[in-house]
Amino acid sequence: MLDLSSPKQVSDLLRENGLRAQKRLGQNFLCDRNILNRIAGTANLTPADSVVEIGGGLGALTLTLASFCKSVTCIEIDHGMEPLLRQHIAGCSNVNLILADFLRMDHDKLFSEAFSGGTGYIVANIPYYISSPILEILLRHKRHLRKIVMLVQQEFANRLVAAPGSDDCGSLSLFAQYHANIEIAFSVPRTVFLPPPDVGSAVIMIEPKIPGTIPVENEERMLALIRAGFGQRRKTIVNALMRSPASYGLKFGMEDRPLIEGLLQEAGIDPQRRGETLSLHEYARLADASVLD
């Protein structure tokens, strides 16, 4: 019986079928039964839960998840993997395979159908090169999600939990930390993948919070300020806001220094600080400053 957690058997399977991991799709097959079970365990699934998996590959994680929960909706972009993936999940009546590019799907429709109008889980070994857009989509649709468990690049995981002012902290860090509680569950060695990636990996656990992890009256304004503040690293927050692109919707210009300084003073923020040193709470106070109204 084929063991998808065996690197040798997976390697032989791919070779016999004229297939290989597609670098352009970020494919690195996870071949370790212990890690597969730990990922499912981190999600803490029950027989009543439904899961969306992004990137089914050959089905190793898909089959693991299917043994823990009510249903798995597996999204796979690689049509070359379809015959083997369908073969491997054929005995699982609770798995629904969708061949599609997750980034281009109707996500509200996907989650509503996968979770029967309720909420569910995301559990996935995602392509590392599209980690940011996947996470942004998930957090913008967080009302559908109870928990997100993903295997990602270690560097990406570090960014998500980074503190303001650290080298790893960026606008994505605060965006994610506003929308959810995030923790690194455990690290994963390169040796459990086929082929081994060039970077370290980690499993992250994300618990979305509605409306967010801190109170703020104008969420979109706060997120725009965060983008602007981090968009001009090593510049003062005043200069970063004055130079923010019009696409951010802040409508600041070079002539608005007095206005911006007034905003910062009202929020209790030193105008000479750099934008990347501000905390999420400080950006929330800045967003809610009455001078903006």
- Angstrom distance (rounded) from CA 9 to CA 114: 31
Same domain, yes or no: 126 and 260: no
Same domain, yes or no: 105 and 229: no
Please measure the distance between the N-terminal and C-terminal CA atoms of the chain and give it in whole angstroms: 66
Domains in the chain: how many in total? 2
* Domain end call among 208, 243, 261: 208
Specify the CATH number for the domain of residue 45: 3.40.50.150
- Residue 234 Rama label (left phi>0; alpha psi -120 to 50; beta): left
- Give pLDDT tens digits for 108-142: 999 999 999 999 999 999 999 999 999 999 999 99
Same domain, yes or no: 28 and 121: yes
In this structure, is residue 214 part of a structural domain?
no
Same domain, yes or no: 123 and 153: yes
In this structure, is residue 2 part of a structural domain?
no
Contact 227, 171 (CB under 8 A): yes
* Domain end call among 182, 208, 234: 208
In this structure, is residue 123 part of a structural domain?
yes
Same domain, yes or no: 178 and 84: yes
Closest among 203, 205, 204 to 192, alpha carbons compared: 203
In the predicted model, residues of the chain with pLDDT beneath 50 are 291-293
Residue 86's pLDDT is 97
Instruction: Write out the H or E segment, with its range, that includes residue 263.
Output: helix 257-266
Same domain, yes or no: 270 and 144: no
In this structure, is residue 97 part of a structural domain?
yes
Same domain, yes or no: 135 and 256: no
Same domain, yes or no: 242 and 182: no
- Angstrom distance (rounded) from CA 11 to CA 50: 30
The two tokens of residue 28 are 């690195």
Which positions ≥6 away from 167 have C-beta within 8 Å? none
* Domain end call among 208, 234, 268: 208
Residue 292's pLDDT is 47
In this structure, is residue 60 part of a structural domain?
yes
In this structure, is residue 213 part of a structural domain?
no
Residue 290's pLDDT is 63
The parent domain of residue 26 ranges over: 7-208
DSSP state at residue 146: E
Residue 234's pLDDT is 85
In this structure, is residue 1 part of a structural domain?
no
Same domain, yes or no: 223 and 164: no
Specify the CATH number for the domain of residue 261: 1.10.8.100
Residue 20's pLDDT is 85
Q: Number of C-alpha atoms within 13 angstroms, CB side, residue 163?
A: 0
Closest among 71, 166, 176, 177 to 123, alpha carbons compared: 71
In this structure, is residue 115 part of a structural domain?
yes
Same domain, yes or no: 99 and 184: yes
Same domain, yes or no: 180 and 229: no
Same domain, yes or no: 156 and 202: yes
